[in-house]
C-alpha cells in the first residue's frame, strides 16, 4: 500500500473544503480529496445566497436574533454570535477570491428571505450564487500549490493514541487503496440528502464524512433535524429542481390545487414563515386537496424582476414548457439540508485530536433545530476560517465547547427482521421519505429503525464507490432514525404526530458517541 504525507488533508471540494484549503495553503502543504470532480458538490446548487448583516437597517445583533428564533431553542448562543459577527470578514475573503456578488450602483444588493427581519441575503448571478462561488474558489485552487485528487474516496480515518494520522482512500478509477498521512484532517463532505426519495442534493451527498467520523470514534449530534425545502419543482419526468426561497421573499405566494392562497391559514408570517412551518403546511394542504403539489405564484410580479432576479429558475422552467411570468410553478417539499452532523466546538474541533469538520458535515449547534435560510454558506466560511486559525494555535481543554446541554447515547442493538426487503438505494430512499420525512410517527420510526438495523447487519464490506456510499447512507439513516425515535417531542424540523408539542425536557441535544464533555 502506497503512503503519502502532507500537513493538511481536506476531504470534500465544496465551499467549505476549497475555502479552507485556500487559507491553509499559506501555512503548509494541502491535499484535497474528492470522490468526484472538484466541482461535484452541493455548493453550486445553492441559489439563495449568503446572509450577512450589512444593510443600513441591519446589524449582527438582529441577524443573531433571527437565527436563534428559527433554531427552536437549540442554537448555541456563542456559536451564533461568532457566525453573525465574523461574517463580514469572511465575505471580504470571497470577494478577494473573485466571487462576483451582484451590485447596484456600486453597492452589493441584498434581498429578503423567509424568517429574516430585513433584506440581508447577498447573491451572485441572481439565483446562481453557489455556482459562482464554486467556480471562483476552484479557479483559485488551481492557481495555488494545493494538490487536488479527483475520483479519490476517503474510506477510513486512521487514528493512533487518540490522534488522527491520516486516511485510507480508494482510487475510484483503479480500485487501489492508498494511505495519506497528515497533521490535520478536515472533513467537508456535505450532508446526507441522498437518503431521501426527493431531494435537492447532488448525487455525491451520501453522508460520507459523518460515517467516516463515527467509524473513527467521533461524536455525532442533532441527526434528527433534517430540513426539507418547501418549494422544489414538481413536474412529471423532471428531476427535483430548487425554486429559491427568494421567490417568496420577492413576493411570490403559495396556492393550493384549487388556486387558493393558504399560508395565512397556518402562520402569521405566511409565505415568510420558517421552512419547517411552510413545508408542513404544504404537506397538509396537498392532503386536503388530494394533490401531489401546490403552486408558487409569481405571475403578479414584474416579468423583468422575475427574469433578471431568477434567470436560472426562469430558463430551467422555460426549457420544460413553463413560463413562470405567466404560469404558477408546481412545487412540493424535498429533502434539503442536515442541521446535525459531526459534533464540533466553535473552532471546528471534534473529540479526536487533529480531526476537524466544517460545513454541512459538521454541527456546531449554530442552526439548532431549524436552519435560517442562507446561513449555510455563511457557516461554511465562518467556521471554516476558524478551523484553519485553530491549527495555528491549539486551544486549551474545554475552550470553545458548546454551552447547550447534551445527552450521549449508543446506537441500540436490534434483532434482525426475518422479512426485511433487499437493500437497494431506491428502497432505502423510499423508506426514509415515508417514515423519517417531514411528518413522523413513533410507529413509522420504529419500523424504519428495525429495517435499517437489519440492513446494516447484512452489509458486505465496501469495495467500490457505490458500496461505500450505500454503507454510509445506511449508517446515517440509522443515526437519524434512532435520534428521531428518542426525541419524543416536536421541535423545529423534527415533527412527530404522537408528540406534536415541544417539551422543555427535550431542550437538549442527542449525541451518539462514547463520551460527552457536558
Give the CATH number for residue 260.
3.90.700.10
pLDDT tens-digit map of 221-276:
999 999 999 999 999 999 999 998 889 989 999 999 999 999 999 999 999 998 89
Question: In the annotation, is 371 catalytic?
Answer: no
Q: Is 518 domain-assigned?
A: no
**275, 343, 371, 478: which is the annotated catalytic residue?**
275
Q: What is the pLDDT of residue 331?
A: 98
Residues 153 and 17 in one domain: yes
Q: Is 460 domain-assigned?
A: yes
Residues 172 and 260 in one domain: no
DSSP letters along 77-145, please? HHHHHHHHHSHHHHHHHHHHTT----EETTEE-EE--TT-SS--EE-STTT-HHHHHHHHHHHHHHTSS
Residues 447 and 467 in one domain: yes
CB 261 within 8 A of CB 254: yes
- The stretch 297-322 carries a mean pLDDT of 96
Q: Do strands 177-187 and 121-122 pair parallel, antiparallel, or not at all (unpaired)?
A: unpaired
DSSP letters along 361-398, please? GEE-SSSTTSPPTT-HHHHHHHHHHHHHHHHHSPPPTT
Average pLDDT score, the chain = 94
Q: Is 88 domain-assigned?
A: yes
Q: Which three cell numbers stand for residue 62?
A: 438582529
Q: Is 517 domain-assigned?
A: no
Q: Is 463 domain-assigned?
A: yes
> How many domains are contained in the chain?
3
Q: Which of 138, 162, 167 is nearest to 11 (CA)?
A: 167
- Is the model's pTM score more than 0.75? yes
Statement: residue 45 has pLDDT above 70: no
User: Considering 292, 311, 333, which residue would you say is the last residue of a domain?
Assistant: 333
Give the CATH number for residue 379.
3.50.50.60
- The stretch 175-184 carries a mean pLDDT of 97
CA distance 264 to 127: 26
Written in H, E and C, the secondary structure of 228-271 is EEEEEECCCCCCCCECCCHHHHCCCEEECCCCCECHHHCCCCHH
CB 73 within 8 A of CB 369: yes
Strand partners, 32: 10, 148
Q: Which three cell numbers stand for residue 85?
A: 459577527
Residues 129 and 212 in one domain: yes
Residues 313 and 456 in one domain: no
Q: Which of 347, 320, 143, 116 is nearest to 236 (CA)?
A: 320
Statement: residue 459 has pLDDT above 50: yes
| Full domain range(s) for residue 288 | 229-333
CA angle 195, 283, 369 (to 5 degrees): 60
DSSP letters along 42-62, please? SGGG--S-EE---STT--HHH
- The stretch 150-168 carries a mean pLDDT of 97
Residues 327 and 381 in one domain: no
CA–centroid distance for 249 within its chain: 21
Residues 67 and 203 in one domain: yes
Q: Give the largest CA-CA distance in the chain.
A: 67
Residues 363 and 396 in one domain: yes
CA distance 285 to 190: 31
Statement: residue 39 has pLDDT above 90: no
Give burial (CB, 10 Å; 0-12/13-18/19+) of 337. buried
CA angle 270, 119, 231 (to 5 degrees): 45
Amino acid at each position: 500500500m502506497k503512503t503519502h504525507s502532507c500537513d493538511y488533508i481536506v476531504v470534500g471540494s465544496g465551499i467549505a473544503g476549497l475555502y479552507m484549503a485556500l487559507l491553509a495553503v499559506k501555512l503548509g502543504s494541502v491535499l484535497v480529496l474528492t470522490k468526484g470532480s472538484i466541482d461535484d458538490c452541493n455548493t453550486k446548487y445553492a441559489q439563495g445566497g449568503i446572509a450577512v448583516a450589512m444593510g443600513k437597517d441591519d446589524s449582527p445583533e438582529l441577524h443573531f436574533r433571527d437565527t436563534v428564533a428559527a433554531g427552536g431553542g437549540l442554537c448555541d448562543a456563542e456559536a451564533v454570535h461568532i457566525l453573525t459577527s465574523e461574517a463580514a470578514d469572511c465575505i471580504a475573503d470571497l470577494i478577494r477570491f473573485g466571487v462576483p456578488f451582484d451590485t447596484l450602483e456600486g453597492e452589493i444588493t441584498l434581498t429578503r428571505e423567509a424568517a429574516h427581519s430585513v433584506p440581508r441575503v447577498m447573491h451572485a448571478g441572481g439565483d446562481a450564487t453557489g455556482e459562482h462561488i464554486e467556480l471562483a474558489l476552484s479557479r483559485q485552487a488551481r492557481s495555488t500549490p494545493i494538490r487536488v485528487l479527483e475520483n479519490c474516496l476517503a474510506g477510513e480515518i486512521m487514528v493512533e493514541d487518540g490522534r488522527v494520522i491520516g486516511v485510507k482512500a480508494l482510487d475510484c478509477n483503479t480500485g487501489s487503496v492508498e494511505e495519506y498521512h497528515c497533521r490535520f484532517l478536515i472533513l467537508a463532505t456535505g450532508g446526507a440528502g441522498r437518503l431521501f426519495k426527493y431531494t435537492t442534493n447532488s448525487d455525491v451527498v451520501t453522508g460520507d464524512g459523518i460515517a467516516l467520523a463515527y467509524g473513527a470514534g467521533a461524536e455525532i449530534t442533532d441527526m434528527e433535524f433534517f430540513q426539507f425545502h418547501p418549494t422544489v419543482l414538481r413536474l412529471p419526468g423532471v428531476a427535483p429542481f430548487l425554486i429559491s426561497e427568494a421567490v417568496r421573499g420577492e413576493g411570490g405566494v403559495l396556492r393550493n390545487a384549487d388556486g387558493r392562497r393558504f399560508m395565512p391559514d397556518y402562520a402569521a408570517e405566511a409565505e415568510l414563515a420558517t421552512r419547517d412551518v411552510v413545508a408542513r403546511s404544504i404537506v397538509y394542504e396537498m392532503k386536503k386537496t388530494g394533490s401531489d403539489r401546490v403552486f408558487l405564484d409569481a405571475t403578479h410580479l414584474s416579468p423583468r424582476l422575475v427574469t433578471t432576479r431568477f434567470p436560472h429558475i426562469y430558463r430551467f422552467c422555460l426549457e420544460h414548457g413553463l413560463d413562470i411570468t405567466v404560469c404558477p410553478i408546481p412545487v412540493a417539499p424535498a429533502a434539503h439540508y442536515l442541521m446535525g452532523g459531526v459534533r464540533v466546538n466553535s473552532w471546528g474541533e471534534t473529540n479526536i485530536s487533529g480531526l476537524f469538520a466544517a460545513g454541512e458535515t459538521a454541527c456546531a449547534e449554530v442552526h439548532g433545530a431549524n436552519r435560517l435560510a442562507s446561513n449555510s454558506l455563511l457557516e461554511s466560511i465562518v467556521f471554516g476560517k476558524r478551523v484553519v486559525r485553530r491549527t495555528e494555535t491549539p486551544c486549551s481543554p474545554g475552550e470553545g465547547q458548546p454551552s447547550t446541554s447534551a445527552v450521549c447515547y449508543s446506537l441500540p442493538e436490534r434483532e434482525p427482521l426475518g422479512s426485511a426487503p433487499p437493500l437497494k438505494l431506491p428502497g432505502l430512499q423510499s423508506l426514509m421519505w415515508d417514515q423519517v420525512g417531514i411528518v413522523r410517527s413513533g410507529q413509522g420510526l420504529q419500523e424504519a429503525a428495525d429495517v435499517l438495523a437489519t440492513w446494516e447487519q447484512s452489509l458486505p464490506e465496501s469495495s467500490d464507490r457505490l458500496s461505500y456510499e450505500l454503507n454510509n447512507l445506511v449508517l446515517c439513516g440509522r443515526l437519524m432514525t434512532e435520534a428521531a425515535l428518542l426525541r419524543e417531542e416536536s421541535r423545529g424540523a423534527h415533527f412527530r404526530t404522537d408528540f406534536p408539542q415541544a417539551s422543555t425536557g427535550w431542550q437538549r441535544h442527542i449525541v451518539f458517541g462514547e463520551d460527552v464533555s457536558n
